[in-house]
Structure 1
Amino acid sequence: MDNFQPSEASHDESGPGKALSPEPAGIVPATPALRASDADRERTVAILQAALADGRLSHGELEQRLERVYGATSKNELAEISADLQPAQWSGGSSAVSKDVGVMNDFVRKGRWKVGRKYKGTAVISSGVIDLRDADFTEPETTIHVNSWIGTVYVVVPENVDVQVTGTGILGGFKQDREGTNYAATHRINVTGMAVGGSVLVVHELPDDKQRKLLKREQKSIGN
């Protein structure tokens, strides 16, 4: 009688002892996109509404983008929706503002102004406002260096930028109303410097009382 020799096909290929085939070399598992929160969606909505107010979006475009915002599941999707609404960047024209100083006298920098790679604001026994929401940036990254000596300086930043705060406080400090974005933004703002017996507050909106004081100041200057 011939001895029976099992063929290779008769082996159980699904047994627990079978080694799994290695993944092909060079293939890296994709990193899952970060999920968007309701707060992320509302920040994007604020960007769209601001673009409608200054004429960059029509009402029809706003409605279309709002549908995409509330249907988005990842932060990358939200970034794409507002990517063309980032702060404008100038390559020419008037020179950039490099510094403002207030010594026992408040200073305010706001509205449409050109800011370069670096800007320095100093307040000594006074307060200051550095409003970047309508600023035109000449570089993809801007460093705002603030020194506050027995005073308070507000740095008002746009909604759609990455913000990093690294200032030093001595009997004072730097505070930020919210953390920077977790997705890639087209512009980055670094806020640094020193607060000695004072504060540097990085916010997205000025407090109501400070806004009222600025309005009274503007009305007074117009009356004069």
Structure 2
Amino acid sequence: MERLRDAVAEGRLDMDEFEERLEAAYKSRTYAELEPLTRDLPPVPGALPLGAVPATGPTPGGAPWPGRIGGSGTSSTAVAVMSGFQRKGRWTVPAHFNAVAFWGGGELDLREADFAERAVVITCVAIMGGIQITVPPGVEVDVRGIGIMGAFDQSGAQTAPQPGAPRVIVNGLAFWGGVEVRTKAPKGSKPLDGGGYRKEL
């Protein structure tokens, strides 16, 4: 997908070809289905052959930041009414995500997530409920929410934003409820130079 984006930026593909190939890439299930999509494009210097796995590479969701930004959001809304919701593991955070907790709770874990855009906005409404958002170190977080007999809290060790890392803007309203944004590395992981994490076995 990165090669297709580079190709359209360089004028090697027009928008119709780009969209057609991108859609085919999302539907692909094997490397054999992906190979024809970039066969006529020049190779990326230093890139591994398609399907090759680096000996000490990152796990899915732990790739360096440029490889984790772009694409379509997995879902754009989560609602908990006297119940709960959870988004964690490998998912794609859309440019705008809405989370609502009314007499309930929700968890958004972004540590292994991809991001549709470099800057994403998460709007939280917590009414007599709570929402917890977990981001990995290196991600810039901007908390702008309003608390009325409630609070928007940010916890965890704050680190300098990593080059190319996404920016997460959290806004909304907490009324007799709370929204907590915490910074925490993925469990059992080790930071990579280009951003992201590698699982330690």
* TM-score (ref. length: structure 2): 0.56
2:95 pairs with 1:117: yes
Distance in 2 separating the partners of 1:57 and 1:85: 16
Count of matched residue pairs: 128
Q: Which residue of the partner structure matches residue 170 of structure 2?
A: 191
Within the candidate set 97, 102, 110, 2:80 is matched to 102
Q: Closer, same or farther in 2 for the Cα pair 1:135/1:87, shift >3 Å? A: farther
Partner of 2:37: none
Shift in Å at residue 185 of structure 1?
A: 3.9
Corresponding residue to 1:166 among 136, 139, 144: 144
Amino acid at match of 1:58: T
Question: Which structure dedicates a bigger proportion of its chain to strand?
Answer: 2
Return the match for 2:64 from 78, 85, 98. Answer: 85
Q: Which amino acid aligns with 1:199?
A: G
Q: Which of 1 and 2 has higher RCO (CA within 8 Å, sep 6+)?
A: 2
Native 8 Å contact 1:87 1:136 kept in 2: no
- Distance in 1, matches of 2:66 and 2:77, equals 20
Q: Distance in 2 between matches of 1:58 and 1:88?
A: 16
1:116 positional shift = 1.6
In the TM superposition, what is the alpha-carbon distance from 1:160 to its structure 2 partner? 1.8
Q: Does 2:129 match 1:151? A: yes
- Rounded to whole Å, the distance in 1 between the matches of 2:123 and 2:97 is 6
Identical columns (%): 34
Structure 1 CA distance for aligned equivalents of residues 124 and 90 of structure 2: 20
Q: TM-score, normalised by structure 1?
A: 0.51
Q: Which runs of 4+ in 1 moved over 3 A?
A: 178-185
Structure 2: segments with no counterpart, 5+ residues: 1-52, 186-201
User: Which position in structure 1 is the counterpart of 2:183?
Assistant: 204
Mapped to 2, the partners of 1:161 and 1:106 lie a distance apart of 26
Q: Which residue is equivalent to 1:130?
A: 108
Partner SS for 1:97: coil
Structure 1, unaligned runs of 5 or more = 1-54, 62-83, 207-224
Q: 1:195 to 1:109 in 2, by over 3 A?
A: same
